[in-house]
Amino acid sequence: MGKTTGFLEYQRQAPAECEPLERIKNWDEFLIPMDEEKLKEQGARCMDCGTPFCHVGRLLSGMASGCPLHNLIPEWNDLVYRGNWQVALKRLHKTNNFPEFTGRVCPSPCEGACTVGLNGKPVTIKSIERSIVDRGFAEGWIVPEPPLVRTGKKVAVVGSGPAGLACAAQLNKAGHTVTVYERADRIGGLLTYGIPNMKLDKQTVQRRVDLLAAEGITFVTRTEIGKDITASQLQEEHDAVVLCGGSTQARDLPIEGRDLRGIHQAMEFLTLNTKSLLDSGLADGEYLSAAGKDVVVIGGGDTGTDCVATSIRHGCRSVIQLEIMPQSPLTRQASNPWPEWPKVLKVDYGQQEAASLYQEDPRRYLVSSKRFVGDDGGHVQELHTVRIEWTRNEQGRMIPVEVPGSEEIIKTQLVLLALGFTGPEDTVLDQLGVERDERSNAKAEFGTQTTNIEGVFAAGDMRRGQSLVVWAIDEGRQTAREVDRYLMGASNLP
């Protein structure tokens, strides 16, 4: 696909970004769209490989390799190269309900498995995907397409994150009457409140929600299933129920001083910030401000990076990001062969901004948090840490061992815990009597997505545990197909 020799003629070129010291002055997205000719060149780099790995979408060594949605990447790369943008959009939407989301926040396992990347730099798949769908909205090609016929079947979807929205979209296409229940005041789940605006503009989320509503989906906000509406009532009023509540139990850090004020979960920090930003442009002050504070972010993943970037935009005095694992290598190692996800050092937007502002990367590796110390008023003032090394114990397991004499005291007035999530909340699952797996997730058969309760299905992080947006969309689509089959005896959904 693309130009036969394109990968030899053109170098990889990612979209330009606004300068870090400029973009931290606002909450806007900062990627600068590429012009059409450059995008055609990037699409031309898709090398007509005999067996594309970019759209395989499987787990290798516990990590995604290729696109879990099985996006038809070589096809739309070729179509962009040839200028057939509308057809490229149709190909993109065949497998992905929300390419405007994945084109912004997906870590691109497709690029990690790109054949060009075996001996060079992979195709800029993510930026091409985003450009296709953004052009589709700009040109008016994406319009509501409500189903022509309704089946008379009613389905409740609990949770409006990427899994819930994808499931609802597909079930609505099949003609079922779908109601999505969300306990927050806005639809979108983590897309709205878990990801900062500069990474995913909330107008982009609302644009898609409005489109789904115009196609016939009913959205109910400020309604928590299990409290405002009982789970049994939900079952009685619908022919099927799909649980897409996510993995929202945040992992804590139970060390001395944890009860001090000024120590917060990352999602509390990010959610309150986005809500205040949307409600009032932060004028109402209903958020946890990092202004003038020395911030410590504990956790090295994407959420930790979002906390770094958000703190900087508040005007923090300093920010440090602690990671208990070692720094990743600069290049792919022999133990991490293609097409596995490349475990190499990534400098994300938050680190770029911190380095520009403070002249150093905010991350510190191989650091274990020992205790918090507060002032007389009960507010955190210090974090005591120690460096660690990872060694094998007698059973062959890797364990952290403290390095003698490496203790350090870090001054801080705001600590943000970005340590991941342990599983879904209990209320709905307990009321329904849904069985759990060994990790406390809703136990649902892979492929059929059915729980032990008749007519109740589970999808997304609530079923598989904390994962990527692209996996959530894939699970939502799979579950919609199985719900359709359950209701109708067969399904034409992909």
In this prediction the pTM is 0.96
pLDDT recorded at residue 430? 95
- As averages over each run of 10 residues, the pLDDT of the chain (494 residues) reads 84 96 98 96 91 91 93 95 97 98 96 92 96 98 98 98 98 98 98 98 98 98 96 96 97 98 98 98 98 97 97 98 96 93 95 97 98 98 98 93 97 98 95 95 91 97 95 97 98 96
Q: Dump pLDDT digits (tens) for 347-370.
A: 999 999 999 999 999 999 999 999
Q: Give the residue extent of every domain in the chain.
A: 6-138, 154-248+422-488, 252-419
Please classify residue 61 by burial: count the beta carbons closer than 10 Å to its beta carbon, then call 0-12 exposed, 13-18 middle and 19+ buried.
Answer: exposed
| 162 prior amide bond cis, ω within 30 | no
For residues 316-338, one letter each, b for 16 or more C-beta atoms within 10 angstroms of the residue's C-beta and e for the rest, the string is bebbbbbbbeeebeeebeeebeb
pLDDT recorded at residue 40? 96
Q: Dump pLDDT digits (tens) for 378-418.
A: 999 999 999 999 999 999 999 999 999 999 999 999 999 99
Q: Determine the Cα angle at 332 with ends 388 and 12, to 5°.
A: 130
pLDDT recorded at residue 29? 98
Give one word for 449, left, alpha or beta, with left for phi > 0 and alpha for psi -120 to 50. left
Q: Which CATH superfamily is domain 6-138 in?
A: Alpha-helical ferredoxin (1.10.1060.10)
One fold for both 154-248+422-488 and 252-419?
yes
154-248+422-488: CATH architecture: 3-Layer(bba) Sandwich (3.50)
pLDDT recorded at residue 2? 67
252-419: CATH architecture: 3-Layer(bba) Sandwich (3.50)
**Which residues have a Cβ under 8 Å from the Cβ of 394 and sit 6 or more positions away?**
none
